[in-house]
Amino acid sequence: MGNYLSKFPTLEFFLKNWVERELSSKKNEHILLHYLSEGEPNWAKIESLKKGGIDAATCIIIDELQNNHNYLTTLDAYLNIVRNEPHLDKLLEHLKQDFWQGYSEIEITALFKQQFNLIELEPKLKNGKSVDFSFVLNKKKIFVEVNTPKMGQKISEVLKKHSVNIRDKPKVFDVPDNTERVKDIILREFDHFNRAEVPSLIIYNLSNSEVHGNDIGDRLLGTAYVEIITDKTTGNSSLNWRRKADTVFINDPDLKNLGGIICYKGAFNIKGQMKFYSLDLISITSPISDMQRIAQSFLSEPH
């Protein structure tokens, strides 16, 4: 494991001592340790598979063979981008406590640093709380909280119970309603900005969650539905989007300083590059043009 860790110089620099302590205490359940224990992929086998023609099944096999290496390589690159930032130790602690939460925070801060240059990690708000980072947009400092909702236990059990082979038609039933979980996720992040009176942005990495961006949008904006309107004089029909008031909030939080919410999912392509294939922009008070400019951060690759 030590030799493999040396292939990721930034990770080795910051985490070598921690990795050694965890291994000596026999705590091998951490995802980072698990990825390191898998070792370097069999590149000869991967190249051989690529030459045989790329179909869905081959892509899945290649992804499984190099999944650990992709995450370690990408995390190393992201961490290198922010390695000189003050308070980086906070992100590293989060990475040690909860790999996916720490990974998301490092990923987002690195992408935003590349896009906006000036970021500040762990800024303190006047309500006494700290958020993950801030960046400057249009000469205005925006404060950001990153969250990685986990898949709920009930739906995890459903998926495990009803998992099927890739060529079979999936049979899914007894799927639990996640409305309450979505509500809790939203309110938990809003609490960071309670009485802070600062421009804010919340970013959710939904890659390992059953929650979708439209779930969060529905909780905030009201559930979307289509209304069919028919002109009786002509017989022509048209579709109109409407939103039904959502009662998920008993006491609506104060949203006047919340610029918006970004929900994203990412996956590695066949070359091992992280690509963000789902990006939902929920504009609350920020102009949608600002939200789109912020979303450009996700298009930049770590360097």
Is residue 261 a contact partner of residue 204, using CB atoms and an 8 Å limit?
Answer: yes
The two tokens of residue 126 are 């006047």
Triad 250, 151, 241: Cα angle to 5°: 55
Look at residue 29 and tell me whether its pLDDT is greater than 90. no
Instruction: Tell whether 66 and 147 lie within a shared domain.
Output: no
Instruction: Provide mean pLDDT across the span 190-197.
Output: 83
- Count of beta carbons in the 10 Å neighbourhood of residue 263: 24
- Give the CA diameter of the chain: 80
- Dihedral, CA atoms, 81, 85, 87, 91, nearest 10 degrees? -10
Last residue of one domain, picked from the residues 49, 81, 113 = 81
User: pLDDT tens digits for 201-235?
Assistant: 999 998 877 777 777 777 676 677 778 888 888 88
194 φ, ψ to 5°? Answer: -60, 120
The answer as to whether 266 is a domain residue is: yes
Instruction: Tell whether 277 and 159 lie within a shared domain.
Output: yes
- Contacts of 296 by beta carbon, 8 Å cutoff, 6+ apart: 115
- Count of beta carbons in the 10 Å neighbourhood of residue 167: 7
- Count of beta carbons in the 10 Å neighbourhood of residue 281: 18
Instruction: Tell whether 255 and 130 lie within a shared domain.
Output: yes
Domains of the chain: total: 2
Instruction: Provide mean pLDDT across the span 192-199.
Output: 86
- Contacts of 289 by beta carbon, 8 Å cutoff, 6+ apart: none
Look at residue 172 and tell me whether its pLDDT is greater than 70. no
User: Which domain, by its residues, includes 23?
Assistant: 1-81
User: pLDDT tens digits for 233-262?
Assistant: 888 888 887 766 665 454 555 667 888 889
Specify the pTM. Answer: 0.80
User: pLDDT tens digits for 210-219?
Assistant: 777 777 777 6
Q: 């309500």: which residue's tokens? A: 127
Instruction: Tell whether 198 and 288 lie within a shared domain.
Output: yes
Mean pLDDT of the chain: 82
For residue 143, give the nearest of 163, 170, 168, 124 by alpha carbon: 124
The answer as to whether 90 is a domain residue is: no
